[in-house]
Structure 1
Amino acid sequence: MAIPPCFTAEAGTSVHFRPRHFPRKTLMPALLVSGLLSTCGAAQAYDIRTNPYLLGDWGGLRTDLAERGITLNLGYTGEAAHNFSGGQEKLTRYTDQWVIGSTMDLDKLVGWRGGTFQMTITDRNGRNLGADAGIGNNMLIQEVYGRGQTWHMTQFWLNQSFLGGRVQWKIGRLTVGEDFANFSCAFQNLTFCGSQPGNLVGSYWVNWPTSQWATRLKINTSEQTYVQAGIYQVNPNYVNDDYARSHGLSLDNPSGTTGALVPLEFGWRPDWNGLPGSYKFGVWYNTSNGKDLYQDVNHAPRGETGLAPRERNGQYGVYINFEQQVSGTAGGRGASVFLNISQADRETAAQDHQIALGLQYKGPFARARDVIGVALGATHNNGRYARYVRQQDQRLGTNTKVGDGYEYVAEVYYSWSPMPSIYLRPNLQYIRHPGGTSANHDAFIVGLKTGITF
């Protein structure tokens, strides 16, 4: 039976589920309803079961714009989670993100050869299960939460290609993770999502949805290898939630810049028996001073003295990111494996290293778009910071939970895609020693990640 191409308002309300315990903006739902109404008359021109966009071609407008060099994007991601164990109470929480963007081929648009312009705006809303339920976890159970739950100018950059694409220069407002240690967010737990160094040192390695002024130069040294380096502004205002709520959409250059993040990455993209792989090795250095976790200005234990922390010259780290398809057909059905490892300096990083590995199988049960994912990960709490907190507790007579071990996370998901534009991804998460300490009870989480491309 054919699926009706037009939806009633009632049929679409599940997409706009909002928990009653927090307020919602209305602009995005209004845009969606407007889009549905404007395209419904031309809906018969496409088949919703095969089209990559829920709203189709907009009566041919999308194709016409693409031919002129303009590609538009409107997407939605929602993440629900409930803790059946762990934490101080059992709760259900929901958080989401809207994405509006445009990619412009400047050659087609204005005859600017080799130029591409990207603009992306994001809007986040909702609640954080880990914080509200008192689970004590380091890594977010809902990766799409954070950075002020507000609007952000996430991308605003120009990319210029030289020498037939061999050299790529990007400049503007960038997120670090779109280019360095880049990794997908198929899983719901942050341990397995996005550019891993940002999970450890997110105060200066700033991932989506927050951007900063930056530039990146990439050189494709062969068909399978590349080297790239970048310079990213480090400014505490960009990761300040209050600042984001008032300036998240602005393209200003706030005062308070402390230095620059300089990442360097080497990449290799081989084909093993016709199956694609990606192997990345990177290092980074932040020219900003960092506060020592344990020593004071006199190099004594600051938890005992109560003096200001020692200032360290620079902050640094190293990472690897391996992805390889191991069965099936290239880019199609089959199994892929991944391994991510990051190590930050022990003088300034409260979480100093993380490892994540997993497997994803695309096309199970003869369903080409469905995916099964399984992953295991561990995040280590820096023992130097834990010693500082315990010494401070002894001095002040307080009792603070602090971990100096590993937070272990396991996640399994099944991604069901009834049509190309929608996926529903139920998942199970288990967190052992949340926050890297056995003082926090292990948590069992049931989650649901939903994605829609309009």
Structure 2
Amino acid sequence: MANKSPLRFKKLYLACSVGLLFSSAQVLAADSGPFSPNSPWMLGDWGGERSTLKQEGVDFQVNYTGEAASNFSGGYDKSTTARYADQWQFGVDLDLDKLLNWKDTEFQMTVTNRNGRNISNDAVGDPRTGTLSSSQEVWGRGQTTRLTQFWIRQGYFNDTLDIKAGRVTVGEDFDSLKSNFQNLALGSGQAGNWRGDRWYNWPISQWGGRIKLNITPEIYTQVGIYNQNPKNYDTGNGFRLDSSGSIGNLIPVEAGWTPTLGPDKLAGKYALGFYYSSTKGNVYSSGSIQNGSEQYSDQAHAYGGYVLVQQQLTAVNGDNSRGLSLTVQGVMNDKKTSSTDNYQSVAITYKGIFDSRPKDELGFGVGRIHVNSDLSQTQRDQNAANGVNNYNNPTYLPVQSGAEYDYELYYGIQATDWLTVRPNLQYISAPGAVSQVKDAFVGGIMVNVAL
């Protein structure tokens, strides 16, 4: 598969070049035909049929995301290596109010397909541990085809009460925000990223749902319940609908405020959440070496909390589609059962920094992921029991201690209305929180296409 990387890079840069060519074209009037820069879809409006269907309640969604990354220097493998990962997303959203006269009712079905390789696993990070974050957020959770969404949502009492159920992903409703970063540590659903054995984020779906109470148009509270089944992770189980193998349930609770501030109506989101898992896990502090392997004498339920703030701070001459925005995130996991016990990040973005490029976006962010010190000790104990203390010994278990820091700077080019290209630079400090691995400098590029 490694031999395919140069070819994939050529395809990716060809797509970027084509997009930039379209963006430089002088279009005098809107054109809904295929490859038109002003169309929201690369394949066009199907002679007007697509817009008509959407107005009638049938919205087709076909999207492609490709992410390339190369370690320019540092990391575990110091030779320059390139990796490419991608995701196809095929979906349809049905407005059942329009189609069947079911008041305030919506149905969504989405199938995803992920492919490729990740630079973080064996080049930036030590292959024995990998990194904590990922330089290609679209990679992971099984490189396979999945039924990611299959749910129905209905509102009651003028949308005061909102109920959603079916095959769902937790992060689409809880701890969710808008993000265009390529590094996983700066995206949405961070509570699930650092507790992935309990909280299953996109594209892993599970049976579940949530009840949301919109107290006012700006203030809400919601609670959910999601079945936990590790078999949902397995490659080849993307369309597995039975619940055999279930180990418990995840219950998240969130309260939020979504204001529009000031005369420019600057959008914001402020959320505080808590989760509890009925599934028990090993308590790291109770570990001991028995018969050459780690054994645990105690188990406990998992729990944690999170906070997110995302607020647009400025507009440009009254235009709130442009301006500066701030995002702050934090996660706390229980120290007993979680390998990463806390996380923080801060990011700033500016959309429309140039008058001639009002849809382009500049972004910079930094994320910190901290390893549970009890996990670090179990790794030291394992090495001591095996009688190895040399990092270069293949049987040595690298000790993850302290925190990994992930930085990213990107510039998003809105090449056409359907194509966005985001070159980025990333700096990963202490990859995998392993002190022997050198800091890595990674170059990346993300392409998003709405077909």
TM range (shorter): 0.7 to 0.9
Hey, what's the Cα distance between the residues in 2 that align with 1:397 and 1:305?
A: 10
Say which of 419, 443, 448 aligns to 2:445.
448
Q: Is the 8 A contact 2:250 2:276 kept in 1?
A: yes
Question: Secondary structure at 2:326's aligned position in 1?
Answer: strand
Q: Is 2:361 aligned against 1:364?
A: no
Question: Secondary structure at 2:245's aligned position in 1?
Answer: coil
Q: Is the 8 A contact 2:289 2:385 kept in 1?
A: no
Q: Is 2:328 aligned against 1:339?
A: yes
Question: Secondary structure at 2:354's aligned position in 1?
Answer: helix
State the match for 2:81 in structure 1: 91
Q: CA deviation at 1:247?
A: 2.1
- How is 1:228-267 mapped onto 2 (pairs within 5 angstroms)? 228-239=222-233, 243=234, 245-250=235-240, 252-267=241-256
Q: Is 2:75 aligned against 1:81?
A: no
Q: Is the 8 A contact 2:176 2:189 kept in 1?
A: yes
**Cα distance change, pair 304–355 in 1 and its aligned pair in 2 (3 A):** farther
State the match for 1:139 in structure 2: 133
Q: CA deviation at 1:291?
A: 1.1
Deviations 1:155-199 (A, max 9, x none): 000001101111110000010000000023410000001200111
Q: How many residues align?
A: 409
Deviates more, 1:44-53 or 1:404-413: 44-53
State the match for 1:114 in structure 2: 104
Hey, what's the Cα distance between the residues in 1 that align with 2:383 and 2:276?
A: 33
State the match for 2:195 in structure 1: 201
Say which of 157, 171, 192 aligns to 1:177.
171
**Cα distance change, pair 21–146 in 1 and its aligned pair in 2 (3 A):** farther
Say which of 40, 59, 67 aligns to 1:71.
59
- How is 1:302-451 mapped onto 2 (pairs within 5 angstroms)? 302=289, 306=293, 308-328=295-315, 329=318, 331-366=320-355, 367-398=357-388, 399-451=396-448
Question: Secondary structure at 1:281's aligned position in 2?
Answer: strand
Question: Secondary structure at 2:216's aligned position in 1?
Answer: coil
Hey, what's the Cα distance between the residues in 1 that align with 2:178 and 2:267?
A: 16
Q: CA deviation at 1:249?
A: 2.5
Q: CA deviation at 1:390?
A: 0.4
**Cα distance change, pair 222–384 in 1 and its aligned pair in 2 (3 A):** same
Deviates more, 1:154-163 or 1:265-274: 265-274
Deviates more, 1:436-445 or 1:62-71: 62-71
Q: CA deviation at 1:134?
A: 5.0
TM-score using structure 2 length: 0.87
Question: Secondary structure at 1:294's aligned position in 2?
Answer: helix
Q: Is the 8 A contact 2:322 2:352 kept in 1?
A: yes
Question: Secondary structure at 2:279's aligned position in 1?
Answer: coil
Amino acid at match of 1:403: Q
Amino acid at match of 1:343: M
State the match for 2:49 in structure 1: 61
Q: CA deviation at 1:271?
A: 2.4
Identity of aligned residues (%): 38
Question: Secondary structure at 1:319's aligned position in 2?
Answer: strand
State the match for 2:20 in structure 1: none
Q: Is the 8 A contact 1:276 1:330 kept in 2?
A: no
Q: Is the 8 A contact 2:124 2:431 kept in 1?
A: no
Unaligned residue ranges in structure 2 (runs of 5+): 9-29, 389-395
Hey, what's the Cα distance between the residues in 1 that align with 2:71 and 2:176?
A: 29
Q: CA deviation at 1:288?
A: 0.6
Hey, what's the Cα distance between the residues in 2 that align with 1:396 and 1:405?
A: 23
Amino acid at match of 1:294: S
Deviations 1:388-428 (A, max 9, x none): 11011101123221221010111000001121110110000
Q: Is the 8 A contact 2:107 2:151 kept in 1?
A: yes
Alpha-carbon RMSD: 2.0
TM-score using structure 1 length: 0.86
Unaligned residue ranges in structure 1 (runs of 5+): 1-17, 23-42
Q: CA deviation at 1:302?
A: 4.6
Hey, what's the Cα distance between the residues in 2 that align with 1:204 and 1:45?
A: 44
Q: CA deviation at 1:131?
A: 1.6
Q: CA deviation at 1:312?
A: 2.5
Amino acid at match of 2:42: L
Question: Secondary structure at 1:208's aligned position in 2?
Answer: coil
- How is 1:209-220 mapped onto 2 (pairs within 5 angstroms)? 209-220=203-214
Amino acid at match of 2:426: Q
Q: CA deviation at 1:21?
A: 8.7
Q: CA deviation at 1:264?
A: 0.2
Question: Secondary structure at 1:198's aligned position in 2?
Answer: helix
Q: CA deviation at 1:90?
A: 2.2
Hey, what's the Cα distance between the residues in 2 that align with 1:77 and 1:203?
A: 25
Q: CA deviation at 1:294?
A: 2.8
